[in-house]
Amino acid sequence: MEKLKGKVAIVTGAVQGMGKSVAKLFAQEGAKVVVNDISEQKAKKVVEEIKSGGGEALAIKADVTDSKEIFRMAEETVKKFGTIHILINNAGVLCPTKTEEISEEEWDLVINVNLKGTFLCTRAVLPIMKKNRYGRIVNFSSSAGRSVSTLGGVHYTAAKAGILGFTRQLAKEVASFGINVNSVCPGLIDTEMVRGNCSPQKLKNYEHSFPISRLGKPKEVADLVLFLVSDESSYITGASLDINGGDLML
């Protein structure tokens, strides 16, 4: 059964890791998927993979920190697929820099991509979802947003914590329009970004410290996101769901 048949979804930062897994799973479940990234070439490659599996997708290059590009992405999505039902705010950047060594430029980059990008993409799709009286928005926070970051710096933790507050407030604001807004809080997931910021030995040490002693898989996160945008979660909004192998228990 295709849980997302007839739905149109935008997934930001969808060329690798969790975003790519979400985009491919949505397509398998019948959604028409916009694969967004700042690299058009990489986005088109993911679209080719989706189409080769029988899915329908469109690559759109857009910087989530640029409001003009994000409004253009929303317009192109509607032009191609007719509407927008689902937004997955996944695009993010992680930097491990210590506080006193963070430049203003790096602070702005991390905050803008993770937090401002979530706001800009959401703002662009809300009028469409309100008109439809239906919408599903899932924002990617992190265990960092719930507690502290394993790999990232204070700017990363601040951005991810901000996403949790953004999620709750937005969920309250738009519930009457049939729009559900939730966030997911992954722990250490086996992605390119994680492996690019941690040595193999350190990752092994982290794995052994978790109750479920391994890294999470991008597909496991994608399955959780699929649940949150499906009809099965219609009474869930304003929630933050942890997926971290028991590393953080609240």
pLDDT at 242 exceeding the cut of 90: yes
The predicted model scores a pTM of 0.96
| Range 75-87 average pLDDT | 98
- From 39-53, 69-83, 200-214, the region with the lowest mean pLDDT: 200-214
Q: How confident is the model at residue 195 (pLDDT cuts 50, 70, 90)?
A: confident
Question: Within the chain, how many helices (H) and strands (E) appear?
Answer: 10, 7
User: Does the active-site annotation cover 206?
Assistant: no
Q: How far, CA to CA in Å, does 222 sit from each of 21, 70, 227?
A: 6, 23, 9
Tokens 């890791």 appear where? 17
Nearest Cα to 126, choosing from 178, 184, 90?
Answer: 178
How does pLDDT run across 88-112, given as a tens digit for each residue? Answer: 999 999 999 999 999 999 999 999 9
Q: Is 66 helix (H, G, I), strand (E, B) or coil?
A: coil
For residue 197, name the pLDDT band (cuts at 50, 70, 90): confident
Residue 194 pLDDT grade (very low, low, confident, very high; cuts 50, 70, 90): confident
Separation between Cα atoms, residue 149 and residue 158, nearest integer Å: 10
Q: Which of 112, 136, 241 is nearest to 187 (CA)?
A: 241
For 76-95, the DSSP string reads HHHHHHS---EEEE------
CB-count burial class (<10 Å; 0-12, 13-18, 19+) for 16: middle
Distance from chain centroid for Cα 81 = 21
Q: How far apart are CA 110 and CA 105, in angstroms?
A: 9
Note whether residue 211 is domain-resident: no
- Return the ∠ at Cα 167 (arms to 71 and 227), rounded to 5°: 90
Which positions ≥6 away from 50 have C-beta within 8 Å? Answer: 23, 24, 27, 33, 35, 56, 57
* 250 domain-assigned: no
Provide the mean pLDDT of the chain.
Answer: 96
**Where does residue 6 rank: exposed (0-12), middle (13-18), buried (19+ CB within 10 A)?**
exposed
Of 88, 79, 70, 77, which Cα lies nearest the Cα of 14?
88
User: Which of 110-124, 128-142, 193-207, 236-250 has the least mean pLDDT?
Assistant: 193-207
Quote the percentage of the chain above a pLDDT of 90. Answer: 90
Q: What is the pLDDT averaged over residues 232-240?
A: 98
Q: What is the mean pLDDT of residues 181-199?
A: 90
Using one digit for the tens of pLDDT, what is the confidence trace for 4-43?
Answer: 999 999 999 999 999 999 999 999 999 999 999 999 999 9
Of 101-105, 149-153, 174-178, the least confident = 149-153
> Which of the four pLDDT bands, split at 50, 70 and 90, describes residue 196?
confident
* Domain contains 137: yes
Rounded distance, CA 84 to CA 96, Å?
35
181 domain-assigned: yes
Three-state SS for 182?
strand
- Whether 1 has a pLDDT exceeding 80, the answer reads no
Per annotation, catalytic residue among 134, 156, 206, 235: 156
pLDDT confidence tier of residue 226, bands split at 50, 70 and 90: very high
> The domain that contains 223 carries what CATH number?
3.40.50.720
pLDDT number for residue 250: 82
**Interval 159-164 mean pLDDT:** 98
CA distance 39 to 170: 29
Domain range for residue 36?
8-189+217-243
- Domain tally, the chain: 1
* Residue 1: inside a domain: no
